[in-house]
Amino acid sequence: MSINNPNVENTETSALVADLEHLTTTLIAIKAKKGPATPEAKDRVRYNALRHGFTGQVLIMTPEEREKFDAFTKGMMTDLAPAGTHETFLANSIAEEAWRLNQIRARCVNLSAVGDFEGAGDKYTPMEGIENAVIDSVVARDQSKELALMSIYAQRTQRAYEKYKKDLKELQANRKANEEAEQEEARLLFQLADTQGLAYDPRKDGFVFSLHQIRVRTERHHKLILAKRTERDYRERNNLTEITKAAGKAAY
């Protein structure tokens, strides 16, 4: 046994040390490795990442695609105008799902284009004017599995898009309704203080609006009241009432 044989024990220890050194060297090499070395291998890795762009939670794409994606997302976020973390999450999710829908549609169209390039309908020698229909039919037959997957992805993506859009719409409607109610309360409390000759501090009532914002809202509120009161006189003075009546009769 190795307990009674120092030479055997030394040999085993040396082998263990050698294994540890080899393992350490390997781990260092793996850590230092940055990825594919050749340009061809790098291109394969860049474009392979696109294969799971429809189902993966993390969007992986080429730098060129990323630039287009960022521009698209920025436009969507501007249009949706989210406020706060929750709304921003939903708006960003809508943008990502919309991007996926565009990608899926483009992939389906590209399948027909590839079929044209590869001469999918050549052996059928179609009559003039129906080449595209033949190519589409051949692609639909030969790429049925790919098209079926694209259809499934599209349906899932469309459902997610509609859900996120519905959630955002409800969230924004609730937020705007709450803001409107709070602004109206602030306006009434400001008017009360103003009629009593007192200074008004909206922060004491728990409002985040500035005094300037409340003043502007109050002025607009009374301008609208005045505008509604003078609307009838304005219409009569400019003969708009008769014009409206005449337009109504002409419509029948």
- pLDDT tens for each residue of 162-190: 999 999 999 999 999 999 999 999 999 99
Please choose, from the candidates 92, 96, 85, the residue with its C-alpha nearest in 3D space to the C-alpha of residue 56. Answer: 96
Match 């899926």 to its residue by tokens: 104
Q: Is residue 213 left, alpha or beta, with left meaning phi > 0 and alpha meaning psi from -120 to 50?
A: alpha
pLDDT band at 236 (very low <50, low <70, confident <90, very high): confident
- From CA 200, how far away is CA 209, in angstroms rounded? 12
Retrieve residue 96's tokens. Answer: 């990502």
Please choose, from the candidates 218, 221, 176, the residue with its C-alpha nearest in 3D space to the C-alpha of residue 193. Answer: 218
- From CA 92, how far away is CA 102, in angstroms rounded? 15
Burial 77-109 (b: 16+ CB within 10 A, else e): eeebebeeeebeebbbbbbbbbbbbebbeebbe
For range 205-216, the mean pLDDT: 93
pLDDT band at 150 (very low <50, low <70, confident <90, very high): confident
Q: Is the pLDDT of residue 118 over 60?
A: no
